């Protein structure tokens, strides 16, 4: 494998919002293909360029680099109206995707009744704090063989028949007076919205297989993260796709041997949005401080994120699930100026024993208390670009963090801008970020 030919996956190791967008954006100039393979517009990647931030939801982060071809794989669910808004925003900033975007004809559409069903459920007792974007219902329809794929847009004469079964089920569920648009109105609006996209729809699997065989470098951009994975996350407080490594292969149609390296992204602390287990959560002024300094408010929904110390057991689980080769630790500078920094090394059970094993059932998370190891704080790491310049206390913290998940640090982010960060010498990232 030549170094310029590394096909790389970038995966979140916590509950999302780790800062994957910055890393993808940094790396994408070295790749010819940048690929999204799961999720939809529940994702929100903020990329900061020259102090200006651009929020992307469905468009792969490589959009800002004219040399990158952007692929939206079959595992993604797409809201075309939102996609159009993203394309318009990018065009207004001078980024045109014409000729370098391909959307899978097998990717599923998010339709208005999916959003209505998501919101209806979230108004009830079983709410899990979704983003309200219709993600769960879109994937349900896919699994229930009632989904509508981008390829169906190329057959407008059968579109209403494709949409009808799922639409009827939702209408029955929501009842009269739900305010749901008529099927005809949904079909008409969809055909209008879809028109500018028709020329972008195609065979992404074939495109990627050819690109791989040709020797293109491919960057796979994960959305959400392992603890939100429908199988390996904190079910049922998860999203509806496989955000961990398996989803990359089903979501693109590429075989595992097309992938060379896996970079896991984690913040130097932990956050989560929505309901669900989170033993590391700080309910005090420290949690508020992390939220304020780290600007921990959702890119997609604006919701305040729950904040806590770095949770080694969940991150170690994510590293093992994904076979992570190296860590990118983000937002270390948010911990600057604290007297003490905590690291969750295990969970104390009701019986008083300490475990690092994650429960499979939501009920078993109840009563687990975070076991915190404390480290001396440091003054500032902001903008440091050589890890040897880090304060000794920050180095000690990072060493303990890497040891606790048994994966070395390959990249460290020390601020929001592109140049604020350190690449660790001797790691597989060094030639890619040199
Ligand atoms: P859904 O994906 O909208 O169905 O939401 C399911 C759960 O995943 C909720 O707890 C959301 O807050 C969470 N979630 C979905 N996408 C993201 C993301 O990109 N970052 C963080 N949390 C997310």
What's the gap in Å between 228 CA and the centre of ligand 1? 7
Q: Is the pLDDT of residue 208 over 90?
A: yes
The pLDDT score that the predictor gives to residue 312 is 98
Is any ligand 1 atom within 6 A of the Cβ of residue 413?
no
Is any ligand 1 atom within 6 A of the Cβ of residue 129?
yes
Q: Which two tokens stand for residue 129?
A: 């704090």
Q: Which two tokens stand for residue 298?
A: 């959702």
The pLDDT score that the predictor gives to residue 51 is 60
The pLDDT score that the predictor gives to residue 2 is 43
What's the gap in Å between 101 CA and the centre of ligand 1? 25
The pLDDT score that the predictor gives to residue 259 is 98
3-state secondary structure of 292: helix
Q: Which two tokens stand for residue 411?
A: 């990249």
Band the pLDDT of 3: cuts 50, 70, 90: very low
Q: Is the pLDDT of residue 53 over 80?
A: no
Residue whose tokens read 């190891």: 373
- Contact yes or no for 66/60 (Cβ under 8 A): no
Q: Which two tokens stand for residue 217?
A: 């470098």
- Mean pLDDT in the chain? 95
The active-site residue out of 25, 45, 65, 317 is 45
What's the gap in Å between 56 CA and the centre of ligand 1? 15
Give domain limits for the chain: 8-105+203-433, 108-200
| Tens digits of residue pLDDT in 409-423 | 999 999 988 899 999
Q: Is residue 207 among the annotated active site residues? A: no
- Contact yes or no for 210/204 (Cβ under 8 A): no
Q: Is residue 50 among the annotated active site residues? A: no
Is any ligand 1 atom within 6 A of the Cβ of residue 252?
no
Is any ligand 1 atom within 6 A of the Cβ of residue 135?
yes
DSSP 139-185: HHHHHTT---BGGGGG-HHHHHHHHHHHHHHHHHHH-TTS-PPPHHH
Radius of gyration of the chain (CA): 22
DSSP 209-257: HHHHHHT--EEEE--S-GGG-TTTSSTTSS-SS--SHHHHHHTT---GG
Q: What is the CATH number of domain 8-105+203-433?
A: 3.40.440.10
Task: Using alpha carbons, select from 75, 33, 74, 81 the residue that is nearest to residue 57.
Answer: 81
The pLDDT score that the predictor gives to residue 95 is 87
The protein residue with its alpha carbon nearest to ligand 1, atom 8, reads 239
Is any ligand 1 atom within 6 A of the Cβ of residue 43?
yes
What's the gap in Å between 415 CA and the centre of ligand 1? 24
Cα dist from 315 to 321, 350, 358, 401, 405, whole Å: 10, 22, 10, 10, 7
The pLDDT score that the predictor gives to residue 1 is 42
| Tens digits of residue pLDDT in 81-120 | 999 999 998 888 888 899 999 999 999 999 999 999 999 9
More confident residue, 155 or 52: 155
Task: Using alpha carbons, select from 259, 277, 271 the residue that is nearest to residue 224.
Answer: 271
The domain made up of 108-200 is a member of CATH 2.40.50.100: no
% of the chain residues with pLDDT over 90: 87
Q: For the full predicted model, state whether its pTM sits above 0.75.
A: yes
The pLDDT score that the predictor gives to residue 25 is 84
Q: Which two tokens stand for residue 194?
A: 């879809």
The pLDDT score that the predictor gives to residue 281 is 97
Is any ligand 1 atom within 6 A of the Cβ of residue 274?
yes
The pLDDT score that the predictor gives to residue 49 is 61
Is any ligand 1 atom within 6 A of the Cβ of residue 304?
no
Q: Which two tokens stand for residue 359?
A: 């429960």
| Tens digits of residue pLDDT in 313-341 | 999 999 999 999 999 999 999 999 999 99
The protein residue with its alpha carbon nearest to ligand 1, atom 11, reads 130
Two domains, one topology: 8-105+203-433 and 108-200: no
The pLDDT score that the predictor gives to residue 418 is 87
């Amino acid at each position: 494998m030549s170094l310029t030919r590394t096909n790389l996956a970038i995966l979140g190791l916590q509950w999302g919002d780790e800062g994957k967008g910055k890393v993808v954006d940094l790396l994408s100039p070295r790749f010819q293909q940048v690929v999204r393979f799961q999720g939809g517009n529940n994702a929100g990647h903020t990329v900061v360029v020259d102090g200006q931030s651009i929020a992307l939801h469905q468009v792969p982060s490589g959009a800002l680099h004219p040399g990158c071809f952007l692929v939206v794989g079959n595992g993604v669910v797409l809201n075309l109206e939102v996609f159009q808004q993203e394309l318009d925003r990018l065009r207004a900033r001078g980024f045109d995707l014409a000729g370098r975007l391909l959307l899978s004809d097998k990717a599923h559409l998010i339709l208005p009744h999916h959003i209505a069903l998501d919101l209806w459920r979230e108004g009830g007792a079983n709410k899990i704090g979704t983003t309200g974007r219709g993600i769960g219902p879109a994937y349900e329809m896919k699994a229930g063989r009632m989904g509508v794929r981008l390829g169906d847009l190329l057959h407008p004469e059968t579109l209403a028949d494709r949409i009808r079964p799922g639409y009827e089920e939702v209408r029955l569920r929501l009842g009269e007076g739900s305010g749901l648009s008529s099927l005809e109105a949904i079909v008409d609006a969809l055909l209008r919205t879809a028109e500018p996209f028709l020329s972008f729809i195609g065979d992404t699997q074939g495109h990627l297989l050819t690109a791989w065989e040709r020797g293109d470098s491919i960057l796979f951009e994960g959305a959400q993260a392992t603890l939100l994975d429908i199988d390996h996350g904190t079910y049922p407080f998860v999203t509806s796709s496989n955000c961990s490594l398996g989803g990359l292969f089903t979501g693109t149609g590429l075989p595992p041997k097309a992938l060379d390296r896996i970079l896991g992204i984690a913040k130097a602390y932990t956050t989560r949005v929505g309901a669900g287990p989170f033993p590391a959560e700080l309910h005090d002024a420290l949690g508020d401080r992390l939220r304020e300094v780290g600007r921990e408010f959702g890119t997609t929904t604006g919701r305040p994120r729950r904040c806590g110390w770095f949770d080694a057991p969940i991150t170690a689980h994510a590293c093992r699930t994904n076979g992570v080769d190296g860590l990118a630790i983000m937002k270390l500078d948010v911990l600057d100026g604290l007297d003490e920094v905590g690291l969750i090394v295990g969970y104390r059970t009701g019986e008083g024993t300490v475990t690092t094993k994650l429960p499979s059932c939501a009920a078993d998370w109840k009563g687990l208390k975070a076991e915190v190891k404390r480290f001396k704080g440091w003054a500032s790491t902001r903008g440091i670009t050589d890890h040897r310049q880090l304060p000794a206390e920050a180095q000690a913290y990072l060493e303990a963090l890497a040891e606790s998940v048994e994966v070395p640090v390959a990249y460290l982010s020390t601020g929001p801008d592109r140049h604020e960060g350190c690449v660790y010498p001797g790691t597989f990232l060094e030639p890619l970020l040199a």
